[in-house]
Structure formats: C-alpha cells, structure tokens
A = this chain, B = another copy of it.
C-alpha cells in the first residue's frame, strides 16, 4: 500500500451504495489509509441534517426481494452507513467534504449538513487533496 489517500466521489444517495461506501471507508481506515470523501448531488443530499436518518431507498435493481433482505439485516441490528462512517472517522483519517457546486444545486447551507461533514470545497481542491491516490466514483 502506498501513502496516497483513497478518494471517493459520492454522487449516489441510496442506502445500499452509501453502505458500500461506508464499508470501503472503514476497511481503508483499518489499513491506515487516509480517505477523502467528496459529496455531490444525491450523495450530498443524504448527508443533510434533515435527511441523514431517513430512508434513502435502494438501487432500482434491488427489487422487493432485495428490499426484504436489507430490511431484515437492519432489523437484526446492522449498523447504518452513517454509524459506520462515524466509527471510521474515530478509527482513522477520514475527511468528508461537500462539493460547493452541489451545495448550490441543492440550495444547502453549511449549517444544514450533518456534523459528519468536515467542510465545503470546490472540485479543484478535491483534486489537489487527492494527489496521486485512487479516485473512485460511487
């Protein structure tokens, strides 16, 4: 493993993709890798105070059968993606930034965001922080 961060651009806002993000973030943090998360569009929307605890739906291909399986796991006490991300931030270096252009699209102010979000930045700052590390679009 090199010392470059792994950088997630989070566009999608369904609970299953956000869970995949949380698991990959926690895994990287456990390996001592720095993680940068850059929130756009519906990914950003899901991190607003008003919506972070809401049901964000699943990918369309989940169907009723997939929905039932995900619900069963949640009922059995699986941590939500937001909880997993909070734990990953305690464990390692995880920085979560909102995309400034997407803040405009969604008419959000910084005070509307959940405390999981560390700040707001533009795409140029995202690239500079990403350095030569992987960029993964979710």
Which A residues form the contact surface with B (CB < 8 A)?
Answer: 1-2, 6, 9, 11-14, 16-17, 20, 23-24, 26-28, 30-31, 33, 40-42, 45, 56-57, 59-62, 66, 69-70, 73, 99, 101, 104-107, 122-124, 126-128, 131-132, 134-138
Oligomer copy total? 3
Contact of A27 among B11, B20, B41, B126 (CB under 8 A): B126
**Per a CB cutoff under 8 Å, which of B12, B28, B131, B135 touches A127?**
B28
A125 closest partner in B (C-beta): B27
| 21 sampled A-B residue pairs with Cβ under 8 A | A2-B132, A6-B135, A12-B59, A13-B61, A14-B61, A20-B137, A23-B99, A23-B123, A24-B123, A26-B123, A27-B122, A27-B123, A27-B126, A27-B127, A30-B124, A31-B128, A41-B66, A56-B61, A69-B106, A134-B134, A136-B136
